[in-house]
Amino acid sequence: MDLIGKKIVILGERDGVPAHTIEQAIEGLGGDVVYSTTQCFV
Partner 1 sequence: MDLEVQGRIKELAESYPKDDIVVILGAPNVESNLIQYETATRGDPTYAGPLAGVRLELKTFHVFEPEIKGLVAPSRYAGLIETLELGLETEAIVAALQTARGSEI
Residue 18 Cβ vs partner 1, minimum distance, rounded to whole Å: 7
Residue 38 Cβ vs partner 1, minimum distance, rounded to whole Å: 8
Q: What is the largest CA-CA distance in the chain?
A: 35
Q: How many helices (H) and strands (E) does the chain have?
A: 1, 2
Pattern 1-40, partner 1, x by CB under 8 A? xxx-xxxxxxxxx-xxxxx-xx-xxx--x-x--xx-xxx-
Residue 11 Cβ vs partner 1, minimum distance, rounded to whole Å: 5
What percentage of the chain's residues is helix, strand, coil (to nearest 5)?
Answer: 20, 35, 45
